[in-house]
Each structure stands twice: as structure tokens, then as C-alpha cells.
Amino acid sequence: MDFPSQVFTDKAKRKQPFTHPLLQDERVGDVLMKRDVLLNFPYHSFAPVVDMIREAAFDPDVVSIKIACYRLASQSKIINALVNAVRNGKEVTVMMELKARFDEEANLQWQQVLTDIGAKVLTGIQDMKVHAKICVIKNG
């Protein structure tokens, strides 16, 4: 949603998200093994999160990925990484919010895809909404 142009005529152009300086030249997993990195959205790019899950999907030391998903795109890079993780023998558990405003259809489709490939999909607690954004990647 945007501000009405009739009221706000002097509107600044929205800045594009930027990559955190620590994540520009190294694999995300390598950086995170050395130190914590705080990302603040929408200011930072979401790409390092996707890269982290993608790296974990192919890392032979990773045994499981657990993630809470709220709003997923119809062409989700996160889901693609999780599918690759399952195919590579990782235990994948996804807490999928099915009542994510405006994205219910995509979330329902992804729930089916993940279930079909063998991921464990949790769909929440009746009459409660899970809005958390968390991911836990466990090495063996």
C-alpha cells in the first residue's frame, strides 16, 4: 500500500534493500560459524536467508532444517531450497501458517508439495496464528 499522491506530493523514492557488509564476499554459513549477524528487513536484502538455506541443503554436515514460514511466494526460493534439502537426505520440518493474509493459496500449494516429498509440515494451532520467523539448522 502506498501513500495517496494527492496528500503527499513530495515523496522520496523507496531505497532498495542492501546486502549486509559481512555477507558480501563469503558464504553465509561460513560467516555465521564465526559470528552472529543481525539482518533488519526490509532494509537488508533477504537473499542471504535464501542462500543460508540453500547452502544447508547441500552441506553434508547438516542433518536437519526447521523453519517457520508465514507468507510464501508462488515461485518460492525458500521452498526450492527446502525441497533440495529433503532430496539430499536432510530432515525438514516446516511450520506453515495457512492463514497468512493474501497468500493462503500459495501456502496451501507449498504445504502439499512439501508433504509429498517427505518433509514434515505443521499447520499451527486452531484459532491461533503463528507469525514467527525462525529457522534452525542443525549439524550432525
Mind listing the pLDDT tens digit for each residue in 37-69? 999 988 999 999 999 999 999 999 999 999 999
**What integer pLDDT is reported at residue 71 of this predicted model?**
84
Handedness of CA 100, 19, 39, 58 (dihedral sign): positive
Looking at residue 10, what DSSP letter applies? S
Give the per-residue pLDDT at 121. Answer: 96
**Do the beta carbons of residue 26 and residue 53 sit within 8 Å?**
no
Average pLDDT, the chain: 90
Say what the pTM is.
Answer: 0.85
In CATH, the architecture of 21-139 is 2-Layer Sandwich (3.30)
Strand partners, 121: 94
Strands 62-69 and 135-139: antiparallel
Using a pLDDT cut of 90, give the percent of the chain over it.
66
Which of residues 4 and 28 earns the better pLDDT score?
28
Q: Is the pLDDT of residue 98 over 70?
A: yes
What's the pLDDT score for residue 103? 64
Count CB neighbours of 79 within 10 A: 21
Q: Which residues are catalytic?
A: 131
More confident residue, 20 or 124: 20
